[in-house]
């Protein structure tokens, strides 16, 4: 028997939230949906998964013995930028290590801020500092002073213009975005891709209000690239793998570093240590396929750790 699928309206009624909130959850990758024609549907099993992941942790009974976990599979929260390799890592590691990994793809900046506030355990980021033109570490140095932090390289990625097959609008540089016959679609504020785009526009002396569609924002690379594949826009700025997934053309502009930031606590130390060892393992590297647009030569490299981390982990 086929699994029941729900409309966004039905999901909103089930959870007593607005339909707008349902669409935001889908955009952020927190709720997985599929399309039939132009209609969005969410499977029953996905609703159950989402419900489990959003449950508040049960309070321990005063008579419950200490040292005995009520759930042997610990939950690790991962927030930040959406990426296909991050998705793959979360799924593979969850299975290999018997961990519950809760991803929330909300953009690099917000993911890092959630890590800073102690609201997640891992942040996935690719943030370009416009002053130093260095990725990630300038933000980490500003935020984390006393915390136990370790930064691992996941990959370097190609960012550039995603356009229709054959590049019919002949788009090659940032000045082309200001042409009257070119419609753009952007990424949301706080996304690492938005940081890079705005930095490039500033360097080239281009005002955002000169770009048609600059204020039209999407929450992940595939959503933005789908505008191009459906003929709703001419160009977006994103990663090469998103273009490849949808059979679109790609004009490379920059290579960026995509890192995972781990924040250790007494509760998550062993799980994070296991995750790091798994990411650095040959078995995880062997599981990676379809790497167009990625450079994994530094996969698993420690690029930064605080002195507190050196004292609490042997990684």
**42 and 79 in a common domain:** no
In this prediction, residues 184-202 reach a mean pLDDT of 96
**113 and 1 in a common domain:** no
What's the CATH code of the domain at 286?
3.40.190.290
Tell me if 293 is assigned to some domain: yes
Write down the mean pLDDT value for the chain: 88
**191 and 141 in a common domain:** yes
The helix (H) or strand (E) run that includes residue 269 is: helix 269-279
**94 and 40 in a common domain:** no
In this prediction, residues 48-61 reach a mean pLDDT of 60
Tell me if 68 is assigned to some domain: no
**28 and 156 in a common domain:** no
β-sheet with 5-6: strand ranges across: 5-6, 39-43, 34-36
> Sign of torsion, CA 173 178 179 182?
positive
**174 and 208 in a common domain:** yes
17 against 145, higher pLDDT? 145
Q: What is the CA radius of gyration of the chain?
A: 21
pTM: predicted TM-score of the whole model, two decimal places: 0.78
pLDDT classification of 13: cutoffs 50, 70, 90: confident
**193 and 103 in a common domain:** yes
Tell me if 85 is assigned to some domain: yes
**198 and 244 in a common domain:** yes
The helix (H) or strand (E) run that includes residue 198 is: helix 192-203
What pLDDT is recorded for position 37?
Answer: 62
Tell me if 214 is assigned to some domain: yes
What pLDDT is recorded for position 98?
Answer: 92
> Sign of torsion, CA 185 188 193 194?
positive
In this prediction, residues 173-183 reach a mean pLDDT of 98
Alpha helices in 55-136 (DSSP H): 84-97, 108-116
Q: Is pLDDT at 260 greater than 70 in this prediction?
A: yes
Tokens 């002396």, residue located: 205
**What is the DSSP pairing of strand 75-80 with strand 122-125?**
parallel
Domain enclosing residue 34, as ranges: 1-53
What pLDDT is recorded for position 59?
Answer: 43
What pLDDT is recorded for position 2?
Answer: 53
Give the tokens for residue 208: 């955002």
**C-alpha atoms less than 13 angstroms from C-alpha of 13 in its C-beta half-sphere:** 4
pLDDT classification of 50: cutoffs 50, 70, 90: confident
Total number of domains constituting the chain: 2
Tell me if 102 is assigned to some domain: yes
Q: Between the ranges 60-69, 200-209, 212-221, 303-312, where is the mean pLDDT highest?
A: 200-209
**262 and 231 in a common domain:** yes
Q: Please say whether the beta carbons of 224 and 186 come within 8 A.
A: yes
Q: Which tens digit of pLDDT belongs to each residue from 195-250?
A: 999 999 999 999 999 999 999 999 889 889 999 999 999 999 999 999 999 999 99
Q: Please say whether the beta carbons of 56 and 20 come within 8 A.
A: no
**134 and 20 in a common domain:** no
Tell me if 237 is assigned to some domain: yes
Tell me if 64 is assigned to some domain: no
What's the CATH code of the domain at 35?
1.10.10
**44 and 182 in a common domain:** no
In this prediction, residues 272-298 reach a mean pLDDT of 96
SS3 content of the chain, % helix, strand, coil (to 5): 35, 25, 40
The CA distance from 8 to 189, in Å, is 25
**133 and 15 in a common domain:** no
Tell me if 40 is assigned to some domain: yes
Determine phi and psi for 41, rounding to 5 degrees: -135, 145
DSSP 60: P
């Amino acid at each position: 028997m086929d699994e029941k699928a729900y409309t966004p309206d039905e999901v909103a009624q089930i959870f007593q939230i607005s339909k707008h909130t349902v669409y935001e959850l889908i955009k952020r990758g927190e709720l997985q949906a599929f399309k039939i024609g132009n209609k969005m549907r969410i499977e029953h099993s996905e609703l159950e998964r989402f419900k489990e992941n959003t449950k508040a942790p049960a309070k321990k009974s005063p008579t419950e013995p200490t040292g005995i976990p009520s759930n042997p599979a610990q939950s690790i929260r991962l927030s930040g930028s959406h990426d296909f390799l991050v998705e793959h890592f979360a799924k593979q590691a969850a299975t290999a290590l018997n961990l519950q990994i809760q991803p929330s793809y909300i953009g690099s900046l917000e993911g890092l801020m959630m890590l800073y506030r102690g609201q997640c355990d891992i942040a996935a980021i690719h943030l370009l500092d416009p002053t130093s033109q260095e990725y990630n570490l300038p933000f980490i140095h500003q935020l984390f002073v006393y915390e136990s932090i370790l930064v691992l390289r996941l990959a370097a990625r190609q960012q550039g213009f995603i356009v229709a097959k054959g590049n019919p609008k002949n788009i090659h540089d940032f000045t082309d975005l200001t042409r009257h016959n070119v419609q753009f679609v952007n990424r949301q504020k706080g996304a690492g891709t938005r940081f890079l785009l705005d930095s490039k526009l500033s360097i080239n002396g281009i005002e955002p209000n000169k770009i048609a569609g600059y204020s039209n924002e999407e929450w992940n690379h595939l959503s933005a690239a789908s505008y191009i594949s459906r003929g709703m826009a001419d160009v977006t700025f994103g990663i090469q793998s998103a273009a490849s997934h949808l059979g679109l053309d790609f004009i490379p502009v920059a290579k960026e570093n995509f890192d995972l930031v781990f924040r250790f606590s007494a509760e998550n130390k062993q799980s994070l240590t296991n995750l790091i060892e798994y990411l650095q393992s040959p078995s995880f590297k062997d599981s990676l396929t379809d790497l167009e647009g990625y450079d994994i030569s530094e996969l698993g490299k420690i690029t930064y750790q605080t002195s507190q981390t050196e004292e609490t982990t042997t990684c």
